[in-house]
Amino acid sequence: MQTKLFIGGEFVDGLAGGTIEVTNPFDQSKLADVAEARAEDVDRAVDAAGRAFPAWSRTSPSERGRLLLALAGAIEANAARLAELETRDTGHPIRDSANLDVPRTVLGFRYFGGMADKIEGSVIPVDPGFLNFVEREPIGVVGQIVPWNFPLMFTSWKLGPALAAGNTVVLKPAELTPLSSLAVAELVREVGFPPGVVNIIPGYGATAGQRLAEHDRVAKLSFTGSTVTGRKIVQASAGNLKKLQLELGGKGPNIVFDDAELDAAVAGSAFGLFHNQGQACIAGTRLLLHASIADRFLDAFLALARSIRLGDPLDRKTEMGPLTSRIHQERVLAYCDVARREGGEILIGGRAPTDPALARGCFIEPTIVRAAPHHTVCRDEVFGPFASVTTFSDDDEAIRIANDTRYGLGAGLWTADLRRAHRVAKAIRSGMVWVNCYKRVHPASPFGGVGESGYGREMGFDVMREYTQAKSVWINVDAKIPPFYPR
Ligand code: NAD
């Protein structure tokens, strides 16, 4: 298991010699002491990335693509080991780590490997006599800060497009879950990325993260995390006006209309909510049910929620693991208390499981609360296996409740009526809308939010614009230079 900082192609200790203890959220056992990056280590990593940038940005795009494809292959070859490491570090059930996290990571690197030599400029129809063309150039040293909920998958979402475009990178994983990104760093070295092109430095947000965000030689920062931290990043980045991309929190509405195919809506809504213990920015956490089907939907949904198998995340049968940290478990339990205090009705869950076999883990039972749209739990991101249920009586009311949030990341709706599907999808203020499905993602499809869910987009050609800047070149091919001023 790799536990050191990856700077300039070498695994090194932090200059101050500090470490971060990383624990397994299932049994609190210690997994590793990982080297801690502090401000001076961030500086070293930025220096290494700065030195690597000129050569990397001039490396042929197809060679950059080849290395990303090789990295995808190396991750695939190490799939079982990476899935287990991710499960131990995060609590993701092994069936998710093996069937979703690792394959999605491979797919991401493969997609952006293929993208590297397909980033094209354009020729602009300007005045006769001039040729005007636009090139997309890499930006420089890119800082990337990621959260703990999908640490492995985020390596491909972040590194893939940045490297394909010719930038060099300093990535700071979350202090809670640094292990899989350090394992990827080993593979980065193994497949032959030049030293300094990728630097991975675990550290705390308030020290290493803050330094990266304010660093005047970091030209762009891509941040995924909470809206609260996103605000701090905006302020810290002001010094050199670095380009920002913010993927922040969400409070996804998931609307079930009276004509929905109920079995599919129940199963899809459960995946949208409970996958990854609900620790997903796009989770469908506000269930909006048409009053006429609410009871039938809830009977089936609560039965399904009750049947979810909580357990050791390394057990292939486990469907829900622990939350990723004790502190986060306590935060979610506190929201259960807030829901009760404000008059919400806990229909199921609202507590840690009583099974002694789970006592050491950071578990929360699947929790569904009947609540009114103004309740705190319908407004704040809880980030656990926790949904509020509210009923509505017509489409306009559903849209109004869905849009009554400061977030706008993912949203879902279930209906058999094609016209309603289009109308409502258009009316929802959100970066992504899923119809008769929930939480589909693909590296080719833009991913990001509106409002306080942030700005900029991951994935597809959109993200390549985030990691490049336009250079407009004017060439006089046949234009007569007019007199300075007619005199
Ligand atoms: P967080 O904001 O606490 O931490 C995210 C990262 O920021 C961590 O690496 C942390 O060390 C770092 N950080 C903390 N304080 C910092 C500071 N002052 N300066 C610089 N960096 C700092 O978020 P979290 O609790 O780790 O993750 C959960 C949040 O992430 C949720 O709000 C979730 O919705 C959001 N998220 C968003 C997306 C998206 O794509 N929109 C995806 C996943 C998670």
Q: Are residues 158 and 215 in the same domain?
A: yes
Specify the pLDDT at position 253.
98
Tokens of 154: 């985020």
Residue 448 lies in a domain: no
Residues 14 and 45 both lie in one domain:
yes
pLDDT band at residue 462 using 50, 70 and 90 as cut-offs = very high
For ligand 1, say whether the CB of 384 is within 6 Å of any of its atoms.
Answer: no
Ligand 1 centroid to 298 CA: how many Å? 32
| Residue 480 belongs to a domain | no
Domain span at 29: 5-247+457-473
Is 24 among the domain residues? yes
Evaluate: CB of 224 within 6 angstroms of ligand 1: yes
263 and 123 within one domain: no
In the three-class reduction of DSSP (H, G, I as helix; E, B as strand; rest coil), residue 268 is classed as helix
Q: With 90 as the cut, is the pLDDT of residue 377 above it?
A: yes
Q: What pLDDT is recorded for position 486?
A: 82
Q: Which of 36, 175, 214, 281 is catalytic?
A: 281
Residue 482: predicted pLDDT: 86
> What's the CA-to-centroid distance between 182 and ligand 1, angstroms?
18
177-223 per-position pLDDT tens digit: 999 999 999 999 999 999 999 999 999 999 999 999 999 999 999 99
Q: How confident is the model at residue 150 (pLDDT cuts 50, 70, 90)?
A: very high
The mean pLDDT of 135-147, rounded to a whole number, is: 98
User: Are 228 and 178 members of one domain?
Assistant: yes
Is residue 369 within 8 Å of 340, Cβ to Cβ? Answer: no
Rounded to the nearest 10°, the torsion over CA 366, 367, 373, 375 is -130
Q: Is the CB of 432 under 6 A from ligand 1?
A: no
Res. 487: pLDDT tops 90? no
DSSP-derived letter for residue 348 is E
pLDDT, tens digit (0-9, with 9 covering 90-100), for 356-367: 999 999 999 999
For residues 273 and 214, membership in a common domain is answered with: no
Task: Give the number of domains in the chain.
Answer: 2
Query: Within a domain: residue 328?
Result: yes
pLDDT at 286: 98
User: Of 93, 133, 81, which is closest to residue 322 (Cα–Cα)?
Assistant: 93
| Binding site membership of 230 for ligand 1 (Cβ less than 6 Å) | no
Do 238 and 364 share a domain, yes or no? Answer: no
Percent of the chain with pLDDT over 90: 99
Token couple for 420: 């309603």
Q: Considering the entire predicted model, what is its pTM?
A: 0.96
247 is catalytic: yes
d(C-alpha 133, C-alpha 436), whole Å: 43
Q: Is residue 441 domain-resident?
A: no
Same domain, 94 and 232: yes
Asked if the structure places residue 167 within a domain, the reply is yes
CATH number of the CATH domain containing 226:
3.40.605.10
The answer to whether the CB of 406 falls within 8 A of the CB of 249 is no
Atom 6 (ligand 1): residue with closest C-alpha? Answer: 147
pLDDT value of residue 135: 97
Q: Are residues 259 and 167 in the same domain?
A: no
Do 242 and 258 share a domain, yes or no? Answer: no
The span from the CA of 130 to the CA of 402, in Å, is: 50
Q: Are 77 and 194 within one domain?
A: yes
**CATH classification at residue 365:** 3.40.309.10
pLDDT(261) > 90: yes
User: Could you tell me the distance, in angstroms and rounded to a whole number, from the CA of residue 85 to the centre of ligand 1?
Assistant: 21
Q: What's the confidence (pLDDT) of residue 483?
A: 84
Q: Would the CB of 172 count as within 6 Å of ligand 1?
A: yes
Given the structure tokens 């801690």, which residue do they identify?
36
Q: Do 183 and 290 fall into the same domain?
A: no
Residue 140 C-alpha to ligand 1 middle, in angstroms?
A: 23
**378 carries an active-site annotation:** no
Provide CB contacts within 8 A for 391, sequence distance 6+.
Answer: 288, 289, 290, 291, 294
The minimum-distance atom of ligand 1 relative to the CA of 449 is 41
Ligand 1 midpoint to CA 202 (Å): 14
Same domain, 208 and 270: no
> Which two three-digit tokens encode residue 297?
């939907």
